[in-house]
Amino acid sequence: MVRKLFLALAGLIPFVANAEPHLSGSLIQSVNTDFSHYRGGEWIRMAITLSNQTGALFTGRVIGIVTGRGVQVGDPVTISVSGLAAGATATAELRFPSSSTNWQGYFVNLVAVNQNGHQIDQEASAFDVSSDWWTYPRQCWVVGAYTDWGGWKPNLFRTPQQDVQSLNAYKCNNLQFYNMLYRWHQPWVKSSSWINGDGENISVDLIQRHVAAARSLRMGTLMYMPLYAANVGIAPNFLRDGSGVQLSWGAFTSACGSNCKTADLWHDGFSNIGVMNPNNTSWQTYWGKRAEIMRQKLGFDGMFVDTYGTINTPLWDWSANRIIMDTAYSSFLKTVQGYVQGPMVLNSAGSYNERDLVQSGRETYHFVERWNNPSDIGNFGDLLTKARQVWGWANRTPNNIGLDWDMGMNKTLGASKACSINGGSTACTFNTPGVLYQEAADLATGSHHAWIVDGEQQVGDGARFISNDDFPIGNMLSPKQDMVQGEYDYQNFGVAYEKLLRLNINPSKVSAPSIVLGAKGSATAAAGSVWLFQNHRSGFDILHLLNYQQISSASFNDVNDNAGNAASPTLTGSLQLKMYYTPGGELGDLYTASPDVRHGAPVKLTYVKGSNNLGDYITFTLPSLKFWDMVWLENGVASSDYETP
The separation between the first and the last C-alpha atoms of the chain, rounded to the nearest angstrom, is: 8
Residue type, 135: T
SS3 474: coil
Q: Which of 438, 439, 529 is nearest to 488 (CA)?
A: 439
Q: Count H helices and E strands in the chain, helices first.
A: 11, 35
Give the neighbor-by-neighbor strand order of the sheet with 448-449.
366-369, 403-406, 448-449
CA separation for the pair 409, 394 (Å, rounded): 28
Q: 135-152 burial, b if ≥16 CB within 10 A, otherwise e?
A: bbbbbbbbbbbbeebeee
pLDDT tens per residue, range 298-326: 999 999 999 999 999 999 999 999 999 99
Say what the pLDDT of residue 421 is.
45
For residue 530, what are the β-bridge partners?
521, 547
How does pLDDT run across 468-492, given as a tens digit for each residue? 654 788 767 788 899 999 999 999 9
Query: In this predicted model, what pLDDT tens digit does every residue of 603-643 receive, in sequence order?
Result: 999 999 999 999 999 999 999 999 999 999 999 999 999 99
pLDDT of residue 417: 54
pLDDT value, residue 476: 74
Which residues of the chain register pLDDT less than 70? 1-18, 151-153, 411-428, 468-470, 475
Helix segments in 12-159, DSSP class H: none
- Report the amino acid identity of residue 402: G
CB 234 within 8 A of CB 271: no
CB-CB neighbours of 514 under 10 Å = 15
Query: Please, what sign has the CA dihedral across residues 186, 191, 195, 200?
Result: positive
Q: Which of 286, 288, 294, 148 is nearest to 211 (CA)?
A: 294
Distant-in-sequence, close-in-space partners of 388: CB < 8 Å, separation ≥ 6: 507
Q: Using CA atoms, how far apart are residues 395 and 234, in angstroms rounded to an integer?
A: 44
**Which secondary structure element, helix H or strand E, spans residue 79, and what is its range?**
strand 77-84
Q: For residue 291, report the phi and psi dihedrals to the nearest 5 degrees.
A: -65, -40
- Identify which of 477, 627, 454, 455 has the alpha carbon closest to the alpha carbon of residue 562: 477
Q: Measure the CA–CA gap between 572 and 624, rounded to whole angstroms.
A: 5
Is the pTM of the predicted complex or chain greater than 0.85?
yes
Q: Crossing angle for the helix pair 432-444 and 381-394, nearest 10 degrees?
A: 30
Q: How far apart are CA 89 and CA 297, in angstroms?
A: 41
Beta bridge partners of 302: 222
Q: Please tell me the predicted confidence (pLDDT) of residue 426.
A: 47
What letter represents residue 300's amino acid?
A: F
Angle among Cα 376, 288, 209 to the nearest 5 degrees reads 85
Q: How far apart are CA 642 and CA 70, in angstroms?
A: 12
Give the whole-angstrom CA distance, residue 50 versus residue 592.
Answer: 29
Distance CA 520, CA 528 (A): 8
Describe the strand order of the beta sheet including 89-97 as a list of residue ranges. 28-33, 43-51, 89-97
Q: Report the C-alpha gap between 106 and 632 in whole angstroms.
A: 15
pLDDT of 520 reads: 97
Q: Which residue type does 378 have?
A: G
